[in-house]
Structure 1
């Protein structure tokens, strides 16, 4: 295995991490921003008001995007195993 192929595997791993974790983090960011705007407008400073909706949104996004996430990870793992068996 050459240095270039190792770097390609690492690059692909980072891309898979970004595509799997990115949508869930984006949902948490948008919900957190929305709740913060509401808190600033109403001057309600309850900590659980920002925590609970984010947790529910992340769980909902995991339910919706779980199949895509699992397929991405499984296909990457299969490619890694193919590369390992080719050595």
Structure 2
């Protein structure tokens, strides 16, 4: 395996990680921002208030985007498995 090909496989792996984690991180960030705005406007300074909505948002993201994330991971894994015999030469 050449160094260029190893870099390409690593780049593709990092891209896959970002694609799979983006829906959960994005919804968690959005909910965290909304809770922070709510806390600022109502002057409620409870630190634990943001955790439950974020956890619920992440679970909702998993439920909604789970099939898409699983399909992405399966396709990527199949591509890696098909490439393995070519790498041994």
TM range (shorter): over 0.9
Runs of 4+ more than 2 Å apart: none
Gaps of 5+ in 2: none
Gaps of 5+ in 1: none
| CA distances 1:29-86 after superposition (whole Å, capped 9, x unpaired) | 0100000000010011223321101000100000000011111111111111111122
After superposition, the CA RMSD in angstroms is 0.9
Match of 1:18 in 2: 18
Which stretch has the larger CA shift, 34-43 or 46-55? 46-55
The within-5 A match list for 1:66-81 is 66-81=66-81
| CA distances 1:1-56 after superposition (whole Å, capped 9, x unpaired) | 11111111001001101100012101100100000000010011223321101000
Per the normalisation by structure 1, the TM-score is: 0.94
